[in-house]
Structure 1
């Protein structure tokens, strides 16, 4: 509301920096956990359609400002740099969490103008921190319906990340860890996934057309109704262990024949 007022009249409401400072004051002190996130998703779902659509557009503006220029933590009067960093991270993760709650309802991808192709990756790495085992931060679960087209995410840790419906057209994910990632209906048109680890990933209804999938690992990945038109699968690994490869769209028949041949047990030697 405040941002919308400011857009209509610069003398009223808040700009993005003022809105982020207010957001940080509310969401910075305590990190959001999965239970609170589930509660928020239920509450958002109770709101009118027009309301959470407006929220998603506003959140994309705030995410864009936070990632491109940082959070305005100096406005909060915190007593240490470490506390500024901690609360900034909590607030930024909260932006992703609420965006995901809205996006999962609208199924819409809103434009975000990243400052450079590496801006999102650098920002997200700060939010995810160093893992200690397989458990993910909340941020990994909140990447659905984000506009990440053209982003450079090479060798990114996206283990078990939720990327359903995200726009990754032309993105570079070379060597990325997408093991067990959820990529249902994700747009990966023309993406670079050379050497990526997609073991057990859900690629159902994903658009992988014209994607560079050379040397990627697809063991256990689910390709149900995925679009593989003109995708380069040269030297891809684990296709014989992939699921529903025969139910993809536009897969080169020669590739499928080669996979089927690899699945035929070789006769035992005496």
Structure 2
């Protein structure tokens, strides 16, 4: 389907994305996707699959037009709960389907504390002012994502693709943040990064440190 959309008129794909986002927002606002009240396990599974399908469709159109989907999540906790529900438990190192289609979403001000983003495709996602404490971003793709003023205490960025990622008011290019940084180093505005197998201290002297208070 993605290949077919790439061959389509870009204005048509923009319109498809717009309509899918409206449908997604409608389901969020009604609360059906967040807290369904089915009367059987089979109905629960059906709702989960339909929500996953819509989530993936929004992402496919967003990737084609390279435009972030502005979803109205309704509350700080909704997006995290929604992703956990459609993702389920990861079995092994490979990310599940939902996290392979999680790029180009606006997650501003959302709470994802302790979330498992291992291997996730989060390219160009917006996590501005989001709470990402102790999240696992190991081997995730965060290219060109925004994590400005995000709460990152204890988050893991081991072998994470951070090319073009904006963290706080700083840019980190072609580097992967080492997971063994601590609160004091973040308070100082220091980013510990791994490059070519060695640990490098990248002092951001002219930029404000991450706000983790």
Deviates more, 1:160-169 or 1:89-98: 89-98
- Cα pair 2:20 2:58 within 8 Å, conserved: yes
Partner secondary structure for residue 239 of structure 1: strand
Aligned mates of 1:102, 1:194 — CA distance in 2: 33
1:99 and 2:61 equivalent? no
Higher-Rg structure is: 1
Shift of residue 114, structure 1, vs aligned partner: 1.4
Task: Write 1 or 2 for the structure with the bigger share of helix.
Answer: 1
Task: Write 1 or 2 for the structure with the bigger share of strand.
Answer: 2
Aligned mates of 1:55, 1:171 — CA distance in 2: 28
Shift of residue 125, structure 1, vs aligned partner: 0.5
Partner secondary structure for residue 69 of structure 2: coil
What do residues 162-196 of structure 1 show as CA deviations (whole Å, max 9, x unaligned)?
11011111111010011111000001111111110
1:177 and 2:154 equivalent? no
Counting matched residue pairs gives 192
Shift of residue 161, structure 1, vs aligned partner: 0.6
Change (3 A) 1:238 1:108: closer
Residue 209 (structure 2) aligns with: none
Residue 32 (structure 2) aligns with: 70
Residue 241 (structure 1) aligns with: 194
Shift of residue 62, structure 1, vs aligned partner: 2.1
Aligned mates of 2:51, 2:191 — CA distance in 1: 37
Residue 45 (structure 1) aligns with: 6
Change (3 A) 1:48 1:177: same
Aligned mates of 1:169, 1:240 — CA distance in 2: 21
Shift of residue 112, structure 1, vs aligned partner: 1.8
Q: TM-score, normalised by structure 2?
A: 0.78
Aligned mates of 2:70, 2:153 — CA distance in 1: 26
Change (3 A) 1:237 1:82: farther
Residue 115 (structure 1) aligns with: 74
Aligned mates of 1:238, 1:185 — CA distance in 2: 17
Partner secondary structure for residue 207 of structure 1: strand
1:158 and 2:87 equivalent? no
Aligned counterpart for 1:206 among listed residues 165, 189, 199 = 165
Shift of residue 144, structure 1, vs aligned partner: 1.0
Q: Give structure 2 stretches of 5+ with no counterpart.
A: 171-175, 180-184, 207-213
Of the two structures, which has the highest relative contact order with CA contacts closer than 8 Å and spacing of 6 or more? 2
What do residues 186-232 of structure 1 show as CA deviations (whole Å, max 9, x unaligned)?
01111111110110011110111248xxxxx9338xxxxxxxxxxx7
Residue 252 (structure 1) aligns with: 205
Mapping of 1:213-228 within 5 angstroms? 218-219=177-178
Task: Quote the RMSD (CA, aligned, Å).
Answer: 3.2
Deviates more, 1:104-113 or 1:185-194: 104-113
